[in-house]
């Protein structure tokens, strides 16, 4: 990494940690696994005796595995259910669209560095932040759980799920970069991304409907689309989908490239 880019990434990381959203993401990353552990402990306490919890005439103790693997699984699932992805989108928007609206972005552009390095530094800073948050969640899920629950199931698969989540986080960050070059406000980025997400869901639904009605290969496009790509991390529980990771790679490269092109041609006041 060029020295100037290294310094720029460090500066962007400091910006993240001076904002409420940055510390909120860290707080959520630490809180989610602890809440999952607390919930599992409570459920386990309700499974003893004749009055134990029953769902559909089945004891809940037969439905929930009180394992370290379960803690890691649930913590990652809760973390990725819009909670941290939305936070990463907001942080990315604050670093680009927010600074654009506040007219502080131009101070970076007057420096003798190429414009692409400004976006690259922001992308890498949020990606490093994301990796640190993921690691924090894994540690706070694993360390207490190993003392409180059974450790009979291998955790390599779910740990790979955390690693895969770093890749899907990169997808959200790249989308945030691109949309931030279109809407110069944090609210605009969030709303614009939500509208795009809704359109993508509708399109995937239409493709499935077309496939059901007999249109050949209509549903074969779905696994490569952004929605499935950003769910690639779920492969640890049901088998990894190579098409999802292929779609994720395309999404990251295409979104980042378009963001760089738009940013290079945009007049930032």
pLDDT digits (tens, 9 = 90+) for 76-91: 999 998 788 889 999 9
- Statement: residue 57 has pLDDT above 70: no
By the 8 A CB rule, do 258 and 236 touch? no
How many folded domains does the chain comprise?
A: 1
Total residues belonging to the chain:
269
Most confident stretch, 58-67, 114-123, 171-180, 220-229: 171-180
Radius of gyration of the chain (CA): 21
Output the CA angle 224-233-140, nearest 5 degrees: 165
Structural domain for 155, as ranges: 3-265
Beta strands in the chain (DSSP E): 54-55, 58-59
- Pairing state of beta strands 54-55 and 58-59? antiparallel
Instruction: Give percent above pLDDT 90 in the chain.
Output: 52
Q: Which residues pair with residue 187 across a beta bridge? A: none
């Amino acid at each position: 990494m060029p020295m100037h880019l290294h310094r720029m990434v460090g500066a962007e990381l400091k910006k993240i940690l001076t904002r409420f959203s940055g510390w909120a993401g860290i707080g959520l990353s630490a809180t989610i696994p602890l809440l999952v552990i607390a919930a599992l402990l409570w459920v386990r306490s309700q499974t003893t005796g004749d009055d134990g919890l029953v769902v559909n005439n089945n004891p809940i103790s037969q439905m929930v595995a009180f394992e370290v693997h379960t803690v890691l699984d649930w913590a990652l699932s809760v973390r990725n259910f819009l909670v941290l992805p939305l936070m990463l989108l907001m942080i990315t928007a604050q670093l680009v669209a927010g600074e654009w609206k506040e007219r502080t972005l131009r101070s970076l552009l007057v420096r003798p560095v190429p414009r692409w390095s400004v976006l690259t530094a922001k992308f890498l800073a949020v990606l490093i932040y994301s990796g640190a948050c993921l690691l924090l969640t894994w540690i706070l899920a694993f360390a207490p759980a190993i003392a409180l629950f059974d450790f009979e199931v291998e955790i390599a698969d779910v740990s790979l799920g955390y690693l895969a989540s770093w890749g899907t986080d990169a997808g959200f960050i790249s989308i945030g970069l691109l949309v931030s070059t279109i809407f110069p406000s944090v609210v605009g980025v969030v709303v614009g991304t939500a509208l795009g997400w809704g359109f993508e869901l509708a399109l995937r639904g239409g493709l499935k409907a077309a496939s059901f009605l007999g249109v050949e290969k209509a549903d074969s496009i779905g696994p490569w689309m952004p929605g499935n790509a950003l769910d690639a991390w779920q492969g640890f529980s049901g088998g990894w989908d190579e098409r999802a990771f292929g779609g994720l790679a395309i999404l990251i490269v295409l979104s980042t490239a378009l963001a760089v092109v738009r940013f290079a041609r945009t007049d930032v006041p």
